[in-house]
Structure 1
Amino acid sequence: VGQLEYIHLSAPFVAVRNKEVNLTAVLWPSQVGTVTYIWWIGNNTEQPVITLEGSIACTFSREGINTVTVQVSAGNTILQDRKTIAVHEYFQSHLLAFSSNLDDHNPDVAEWRLDVSRVIKNSLIQATGVREDQLLVTVLPGLPTAAEFFLLPDKQLTEGKPEKSSAHLDQLSEVLLSALNQNLVQFTLRPGVQVTVYAAHLSAAPLVDTSENHSGSAMLMLLSVVVVGLAVFVIYKFKR
């Protein structure tokens, strides 16, 4: 059992209003004896939640920026970490990848990720004309360097209606992905280091909560695995 040296609060950068999200406190080292966690959720700083587990589920009922804080007590050590979560009714997100030269300059620290997130956002805005208030960007921890951008609908244009929001976000998404696929999004990290931003070849996050669709897809995949397994078993028995 070692002494607690560092904690990291893992939380989503953007969340859907009234949809449950998970917050997790990651400790280093992981084995530090008995640990107490104190959580301040959203903008309610007067009623913290105390747990003995390093994760907690919560929902946010209002759109806007919410702050979540965890304080970890282990022995004589008390450490704290804080994150902000942007809560919205609708959004679309896509993962971003970069030319490999960015990894050579990535120290994998929060301050660097925050600075580069701003640079990427500005590059996307310049290349596409998307409004600043409709775009959020976050660089993800770890290597190789990856990021995620989030598109938010224009509330006046869509009147808060799901169908209009969906169509509007699809249009914005097409504009950004087109620019990314044409290598139009680039930025200068430092003199002589030009970085190209790409769309990662992964599907976008859902516009709203589509857990039923996800569960259906998971069930279909599970059935496919079972059928293949049975086929292999039958062939094996037949050959014997």
Structure 2
Amino acid sequence: VGQLEYIHLSAPFVAVRNKEVNLTAVLWPSQVGTVTYIWWIGNNTEPVITLEGSIACTFSREGINTVTVQVSAGNTILQDRKTIAVHEYFQSHLLAFSSNLDDHNPDVAEWRLDVSRVIKNSLIQATGVREDQLLVTVLPGLPTAAEFFLLPDKQLTEGKPEKSSAHLDQLSEVLLSALNQNLVQFTLRPGVQVTVYAAHLSAAPLVDTSENHSGSAMLMLLSVVVVGLAVFVIYKFKRSQASTSMRRCRMKKNKK
């Protein structure tokens, strides 16, 4: 069992109002004996105390909410804080970058915050999307990845879910079109030009369509029918052979 040296609060960058999200405190080293977690969530003045490193919560108010976790292990007390943007609706998409960005990524929070601002400005310049409708966060780790979040225009979509969805679809198309045409670039430092791409995780559909399910079911049904017929034919053939053999035996006995 070692002494607690570092903690990281893992939390979503954006959350949907009144929808449950998970907060997790990651410890290093992971084995530090008995640990107490004290959580301050949003505007709640009373903290929540747990012995587990994860907690689920919801946010009823739109806007920026702060969550803080304080971890006590032995004589050591450490804390981490995150802000979560809470909205009624949003759309998000992952971003990838030209490989030269990885060479300059120290994988520290301050660098990610600075580069997030640069990426956001580049997206705004390339597409004309309003600043208050776009959030960008660079994700920890390598290779460098990020995520952008599109927020609906409150004046256009207040209380109209279907309008919010259509509005966000339009904004998403504008951004993805610019990204797919390599129009979003930024200069990290003199001589280092980085291109931003829309990340394509998989060419295959993530969810089977109902037609595929129907096709698979039909194929399975046909397979069962074919196998059943084959078994039936083999059974009849063997039974026929057995009957023929028995008749031959009887004929031989009669001759004797």
Q: TM-score over 0.5 for the alignment?
A: yes
CA pair 129-123 structure 1, distance change in 2 beyond 3 A: same
Deviations 1:67-90 (A, max 9, x none): 000000000000000000000000
What SS is found at the alignment partner of 1:203? coil
Q: What stretches of structure 1 of length at least 5 have no aligned partner? A: none
Count residues with an aligned counterpart. 239
Deviations 1:3-50 (A, max 9, x none): 00000000000000000000000000000000000000112234x000
Partner Cα distance (1:233, 1:3) in 2:
71
TM-score, with structure 1 as normaliser:
0.85
* Same amino acid, percent of matched pairs: 100
Q: CA deviation at 1:126?
A: 0.2
CA distance in 1, matches of 2:18, 2:178: 33
Deviations 1:104-155 (A, max 9, x none): 0000000000000000000000000000000000000000000000000001
Question: Does the aligned pair in 2 maintain the 1:12–1:21 contact within 8 Å?
Answer: yes
Residue by residue, what CA displacement relative to the aligned partner does 1:203-231 show, whole Å, maximum 9, x if unpaired? 89999999999999999999999999999
The Cα shift of 1:157 comes to: 1.0
Q: Relative contact order, CA 8 A, sep 6+: which one is greater?
A: 1
Contact 1:91 1:169 in 2 (8 A): yes
CA RMSD across the alignment: 7.1
- Specify whether residues 49 and 16 from structure 1 end up closer, same or farther in structure 2 by C-alpha distance, changes over 3 A only: same
Q: What stretches of structure 1 move > 2 A for 4+ residues in a row?
A: 202-240
| Greater CA drift, 217-226 or 17-26 | 217-226
Q: Is the contact made by 1:42 and 1:66 (CA closer than 8 Å) also made in structure 2?
A: yes
- Kept after mapping to 2: 8 A contact 1:90/1:208: no
Counterpart CA distance in 1 for 2:142 and 2:136 is 17
CA 1:208–1:201: 2 relative to 1, 3 Å: closer
User: Which piece of structure 1 moves more, 176-185 or 201-210?
Assistant: 201-210
Change in CA separation of 1:76 and 1:190 when aligned onto 2, cut-off 3 Å: same
- Asked if structure 2 preserves the Cα contact closer than 8 Å seen for 1:16 and 1:208, the reply is no
The Cα of 1:60 is off from its aligned counterpart by: 0.3
Q: Deviations over 1:160-184 (max 9, x none)?
A: 3110000000000000000000000
Q: Which has the larger radius of gyration?
A: 2
SS of equivalent residue, structure 1 residue 71? strand
Q: Going by fraction, where is helix more abundant, 1 or 2?
A: 2
1:198 is the counterpart of 2:194: no
CA contact (8 A) 1:92 1:205 kept: no
Distance change (3 Å), C-alpha of 1:115 and 1:23: same
1:201 Cα shift?
0.5
Equivalent-residue separation in structure 2 for 1:97 and 1:230 (angstroms) = 53
